[in-house]
């Protein structure tokens, strides 16, 4: 198990650059792989008549593993990346040797939350994302302390959001709105699992993280104080330490 690579799946509405601060220190212990999800960062959005679904994004991940000739990996996902990690687990459990679920949740969207996602998707397609998406999300993604005392992180997140293609933003929102509840899936996942959550995370709060850790047969919960929904950016050293202390051996 010790030689299983770690695949990092990024949050919405960012890309794989969100892992920059944790990738190098983690790579001292284990092979680390990260890639942009479809329609975001430098990964194109495939032309398709299919409704947006994380099942298709999961197939992208599995195709990447096939290309890299990796039979089994540890999947680490933050926010939307956690939803995607669970979609990969559902599609091909034999490929997943461990889970790192960061600032995410297993529950499906409420009807209101799903409607809000679809509204954001429609607006992104119709008007682009410039001038409204980042301002509307920064205070939800970052802790109060980060917002006021770490302008560098605020600007990094703002730049990541504003660099995303509107079509990819819309696709991701629609795919997340359609995702199923995954608690039963986690109850059947008899693999090592680490659940990390920011103590001030409002989008996927501590009770959601605790529910996942309790559902997982081999789940461990770590709460990182002073951080919110993007712990790998807000406290990368704590995220690296938690993963290294836990990593399957």
Q: Where do the domains of the chain lie?
A: 6-107+180-246
34 bridge partner residues: 8
CATH superfamily, domain 6-107+180-246, is Alpha/Beta hydrolase fold, catalytic domain (3.40.50.1820)
Distances in Å between the alpha carbon of 215 and those of 29, 154, 189, 193, 226?
A: 28, 34, 9, 11, 25
Rounded to an integer, the average pLDDT of 7-16 is 98
Instruction: State the pLDDT confidence band at 2, using cuts at 50, 70 and 90.
Output: low
Task: Give the mean model confidence (pLDDT) for residues 87-103.
Answer: 98
pLDDT at 1: 43
| Confidence band for 49, pLDDT divided at 50, 70 and 90 | confident
């Amino acid at each position: 198990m010790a030689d299983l690579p770690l695949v990092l799946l990024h949050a919405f509405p960012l890309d794989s650059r969100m892992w920059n601060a944790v990738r190098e220190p983690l790579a001292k212990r284990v092979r680390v792989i990260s890639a942009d999800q479809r329609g975001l960062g430098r990964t194109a959005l495939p032309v398709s008549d299919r409704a947006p679904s994380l099942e298709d994004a999961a197939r992208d991940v599995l195709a990447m593993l096939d290309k890299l000739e990796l039979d089994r990996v540890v999947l680490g996902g933050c926010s939307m990346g956690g939803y995607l990690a669970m979609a990969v687990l559902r599609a091909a459990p034999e490929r997943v040797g461990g889970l790192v679920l960061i600032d995410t949740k297993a529950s499906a969207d409420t009807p209101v939350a799903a409607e809000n996602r679809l509204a954001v998707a429609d607006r992104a397609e119709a008007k682009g994302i410039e001038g409204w998406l980042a301002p509307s999300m920064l205070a939800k993604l970052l802790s109060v302390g980060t917002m006021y005392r770490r302008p560098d992180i605020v600007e990094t997140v703002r730049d990541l959001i504003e660099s995303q293609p509107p079509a990819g933003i819309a696709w991701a929102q629609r795919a997340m709105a359609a995702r199923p509840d995954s608690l039963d899936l986690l109850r059947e996942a008899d693999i090592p699992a680490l659940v990390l959550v920011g103590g001030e995370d409002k989008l996927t709060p501590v009770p959601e993280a605790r529910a996942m850790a309790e559902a997982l047969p081999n789940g461990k919960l770590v709460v990182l104080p002073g951080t919110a929904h993007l712990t790998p950016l807000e406290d990368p050293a704590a995220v690296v330490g938690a993963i290294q202390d836990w990593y399957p051996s």
